[in-house]
Amino acid sequence: MRPSLLLPPAGTPRRLALAIALLGLLAASCGADGGIPDQPDPRSFTETSDVVSLGAEGDTSGTAPAESTTSEATTPTSQDTTTTTPETTTTTVAPEPCPLPQALPRDSRFGPDMMRLHRATTAFAEGARRLGSSVEAVGDFSRGWGAREPVASALYRMQADLYGLAFRLEQVYAAAGATYSPERGWVFPDPAYPLATLAAPWGEIPAFQAVTLTALFEARGPRAARAFFKDGEVCRLVAAFSTAMDQAVAASSG
């Protein structure tokens, strides 16, 4: 039989035996690890870690770097957003001298007159761009260069597009009850008629034919002819029609 750890050996004095027995009972009540001072209570780790965590909140070597990392991660995002806004992009891109009208919104419904005039305005702007590209490709700017290829075909197509736009516009105005006189121009029954914005560039067509195109084909060198397009002289009427078309669409949408 295994001897009990709580009983002293035989022959031990009574007082000593009682002392040994009391120590054994004390050890038993504390547990096997209760009398070992070099093993800390597991609660001490919790208390210690709590103290470290609280102290690190005010210490730059504790949790502060993590907060700094988060701040550094969000700062470039706002900077990127600021540098890639549509306003910033617009200021860095040169405007097109012969702009097209803006595309019609897909979720909106316009009448046939608006649709036809929008297509005609777009065709005229595209024709002007083709004319500009053909001028860039000219190698011989001797007299009559505008009547030779590649300019001759591009000029013919642009003129056809312009005449088609003017003809359709006059038809639409007449159907809307508008009247024209050299003294007053176009007069519309409805002052808020959206397509009335196209009347002003329509009135500039004679000067475009007689003055602007004549000055273009009188240019006697690539620098002068191409500057006519770069400076926007030829494209001024194109821009006027495209802007008026955009205004008409906006007025109809509102």
Tens of pLDDT, residues 20-35: 544 444 444 444 444 4
Q: Comparing C-alpha atoms, which of 195, 241, 254 is closest to residue 98?
A: 241
| Residue 118 and residue 217 in one domain | yes
Q: Can you give the pLDDT at residue 94?
A: 57
In a domain, 180, yes or no: yes
For 76-98, how does the pLDDT look when each residue is reduced to its tens digit (9 = 90+)?
Answer: 333 333 345 555 554 445 567 79
| Residue 241 and residue 120 in one domain | yes
Segment 125-139 shows an average pLDDT of 95
In a domain, 131, yes or no: yes
In a domain, 72, yes or no: no
| Residue 123 and residue 23 in one domain | no
Overall domain count for the chain: 2
| Residue 118 and residue 220 in one domain | yes
Q: Can you give the pLDDT at residue 139?
A: 92
Q: Which residue range is the domain that position 118 belongs to? A: 112-253
Q: Can you give the pLDDT at residue 126?
A: 97
In a domain, 79, yes or no: no
In a domain, 65, yes or no: no
| Residue 24 and residue 116 in one domain | no
Q: Comparing C-alpha atoms, which of 104, 143, 152, 125 is closest to residue 253?
A: 104
Of 176 and 107, the structure prediction assigns the larger pLDDT to: 176
Highest-confidence segment of 50-54, 90-94, 151-155: 151-155
Q: Can you give the pLDDT at residue 89?
A: 52
pLDDT surpassing 90 at residue 39: no
| Residue 22 and residue 120 in one domain | no
pLDDT surpassing 70 at residue 199: yes
Length of the chain as a residue count: 254
For 97-124, how does the pLDDT look when each residue is reduced to its tens digit (9 = 90+)?
Answer: 799 999 998 877 899 999 999 999 999 9
| Residue 18 and residue 119 in one domain | no
In a domain, 73, yes or no: no
Q: What angle do CA 196, 198, 200 make, to 5 degrees?
A: 100
| Residue 124 and residue 249 in one domain | yes
